[in-house]
Amino acid sequence: MAQFTLAAHLTCPLDKQLLTLQNRSLQCPSGHSFDIAKQGYVNLLPVQKKNSKDPGDSKEMIQARQRFLQSGLYQPISDELNQLVKTHLPSPSNDSLISIVDAGCGEGYYLSRLATENQLIEADNIELIGVDISKWGAQAATKYQLPITWVVGTNAQLPVAENSVDLIICMFGFYELEWFAKVLKPNGKVILAEAGPEHLIELREIIYPEVRRRDVPALKTADELGFTSRQQNQINFAPKTLNQAQIQDLLVMTPHLYRASYEGKQAAQALTKLDLSAQVVFRVLQYKGQG
């Protein structure tokens, strides 16, 4: 049985009360109980939010992403995130608990690297929670063997207490600003990372007959939900050469494989190497709090 790290602010997905650890399960005061999986994560996905039998990324997608990320090809993205967190996280000098949630954490690469590189795991008053709707994601994340709380759950109803979170990161994920506003403390921050218009352009030019360069979407409701924009920056990194296995993993872990035409897929599958560049847009929002 792998160890499970209990975060102080986890809540019951059925009635939002705080969960406590009883042997190998989490329980709320009304008696709802959630078993901790032997790998060391907990499933807090409400049944009504489970829109398919196996929601989120499949086991194959998660495995492909884990191999790809472990190869270090996206490390500059992780480094940029870690730098932004250093700038925007409140200083952990006082005694109050600082809570960081990775919403849509996938197989856990970014949160694990943030925890180790920024020495967050060494601080007693920082809790780290990774949430993904895919049980394969939470399961794979436990392999990092870090004191991080890995949870199967949805960004549309994050299973953490209202007004308890200092920072939410959402890396290429499905952000739900309305719910993020509920759980953030006043002045809490959100860091969003998304593909820029030139992201993976060399691959997209091979698999699509016509490439559309789209800017990141406007955050239309952010203002009325109480968020202000604090920073936006873009990182570009020069082409890196991917081998055949890395190209195939990249295709499996992104939506491109499903969107590409038959001819596009054939062309990508025939590639033995590819010089590929990346472009990622980071946006930092601050939650002002209600009223």
106 binds ligand SAM (CB under 6 A): yes
Give yes or no for residue 40 binding ligand SAM (CB under 6 A). Answer: no
Query: Which of 4, 34, 41, 109 lies at the binding interface for ligand SAM (CB under 6 A)?
Result: 109
* Residue spans of alpha helices (H) in 104-185: 109-117, 135-141, 177-183
Nearer Cβ to ligand SAM, position 40 or 56? 56
SS3 40: coil
Q: Which of 13, 40, 137, 188 binds ligand SAM (CB under 6 A)?
A: 137
SS3 call for 197: coil
Q: How many Cα atoms sit within 13 Å of 4 on the Cβ side?
A: 26
Q: Is 139 in the site for ligand SAM (CB under 6 A)?
A: no
Cβ 136 to ligand SAM, closest distance in Å? 8
Residue range at the interface with ligand SAM (CB under 6 A); choices 27-35, 104-112, 184-192, 269-277: 104-112
Q: Is 158 in contact with 101 (CB distance < 8 Å)?
A: yes
How many angstroms from the chain centroid is the CA of residue 190?
Answer: 12
With contacts defined by CB under 6 A, name the span among 79-87, 101-109, 208-216, 217-225 that binds ligand SAM: 101-109
φ and ψ at residue 178, rounded to 5 degrees: -65, -45
Q: Which is nearer to ligand SAM, 6 or 195 (CB)?
A: 195
* Beta bridge mates, 157: none
CB of residue 158 to ligand SAM, shortest distance in Å: 8
Q: How far is CA 195 from CA 77, 96, 215, 229, 247, in A?
A: 11, 35, 9, 18, 17
Question: Does the protein bind ligand SAM through residue 68 (CB under 6 A)?
Answer: no
Binding site for ligand SAM (CB under 6 A): 56-57, 65, 104-106, 109-110, 131-134, 137, 154-156, 171-174
